[in-house]
Structure 1
Amino acid sequence: MRLFLLACLAVVPIIAQATVYRWVDENGKVHYSDKPTSNAEIVTLKENTHNKVTVPKAIDYEKDVTAQEAEVAVDYKLSIISPEQEATIRDNDGNVDIVATTQPKPPKSALYTLYMDGKLVGEAQHNAVFNLKNIDRGTHQFEVKMITQSGKVLASSSPRTVFLHRARVGNVQKAPKAKS
């Protein structure tokens, strides 16, 4: 059985190199075939007419993964630069701006997330400046995290405590006056 298979495989290249015949019929139409006819002539094909298939260079996924891991292996330092630790912010609208910085320069694909009192605030974004609106008065703790597209944490800032003072929240209704 193996000998038969080997013989068949040896014949395949010979068949693939079949001779091509060309002839013109009585109407002047040119025909090509692999079977000879009475007025056919053998066509010799030029080297540049043969199909050449080149296989594209294989992608080395392990190398790509190693490059991504090397990117993750960098020891990033993330810190909140504004507001200062235990800063008191007086804003009647409850607006707070959180600004963080990263050393060394983060990868372009890095995202930043903000946590207020342990809960994620908003969605991940490409810059480390967060503008919060209508935050309740009181003591709040903020933390910024730099993450990859897949959600892996690259760096975290240390928690920053901030005190927010608001003169009033919403419309405060006055008690009705007593009738005398």
Structure 2
Amino acid sequence: MRSLTLISLLLLSTLAQATVYKWIDKDGKVHYSDEPHPNAQIVELKDKTLNQVALPAAQVNPDTRPSFEEIRYSVNITSPEEEATIRDNNGEFEVIATITPEIKSQYLMVLKLDGKPIGPPQMGGIFKLTHVERGEHILIAEVMTQNGKVFASSSPRKIFLHQAALKPTPKKQPKSN
């Protein structure tokens, strides 16, 4: 069965190479067809007619490609807002930072709370903070390369974290005379 299929495919491939005819009509237009026409000439096609386009190799000059240092990136903490008051008894909240212009390659971000990094550098700018003590805090987001070199950072963002008192303070009783 395989040999029959192979033979029929070979026969079809030879028939697929039809003869091409060329003729010129009364208006001087040149026509091509696979059917014979009066005054038509047979066009002989070369067996190995290949169209090859050779493109020059792309040349990347390292001096003209901008580096992280040459591009001015802007890091912005979009949430929470400046001097926002966050009320959470567990000290949990989310910080969102963005960078512009957008970077196509991989980069890392780190969030600093009061000058100290919160966790290891991560991909992306969404940070979930837990167990933060109440009070005033300063947030800074930094963007760095994969090898740890910081190339952009946000301006400091001041926030306030309020927590309900764990132990209620006793109210002073008015003195009676």
Flag whether TM exceeds 0.5 (same fold). yes
TM-score (norm 2): 0.56
Contact 1:76 1:106 in 2 (8 A): no
* Deviation for aligned residue 1:71: 4.0
Shift of the 151–127 alpha-carbon distance from structure 1 to 2, 3 Å rule, reads: same
Shift of 1:66: 7.1
1:124 is paired with a residue of what secondary structure? coil
Letter in 1 for 2:75: L
Asked if 1 retains the 8 angstrom alpha-carbon contact of 2:68 and 2:151, the reply is: no
Query: For the aligned residues, what is the CA RMSD?
Result: 2.8
Percent identical? 40
2:127 is aligned, of 125, 130, 141, to 130
**Other-structure match for 2:160:** 163
- Among 70, 73, 78, the residue aligned to 1:73: 70
Q: Relative to total residues, which structure has the larger helix share, 1 or 2?
A: 1
1:111 maps to 108
Report the AA paired with residue 93 of structure 2: V
Question: How far 1:88 moved relative to its partner?
Answer: 0.3
Moved over 6 A (4+): none
Corresponding residue for residue 145 of structure 1: 142
Shift of 1:72: 3.8
Instruction: Provide structure 2 residue ranges, at least 5 long, that are not aligned to the other structure.
Output: 1-58, 170-177
Instruction: State the secondary structure of the residue aligned to 1:70.
Output: coil
**What's the CA shift for 1:107?**
3.6
- Structure 1 unaligned regions, length at least 5: 1-59, 175-180
In the alignment of these two chains, the number of paired residues is 112
Whole-angstrom CA distance in 2 between matches of 1:160 and 1:71: 24
- Whether 1:96 aligns to 2:86 is no
CA distance in 2, matches of 1:134, 1:82: 18
Instruction: Give the secondary-structure state (helix, strand or coil) at the position aligned to 1:134.
Output: coil
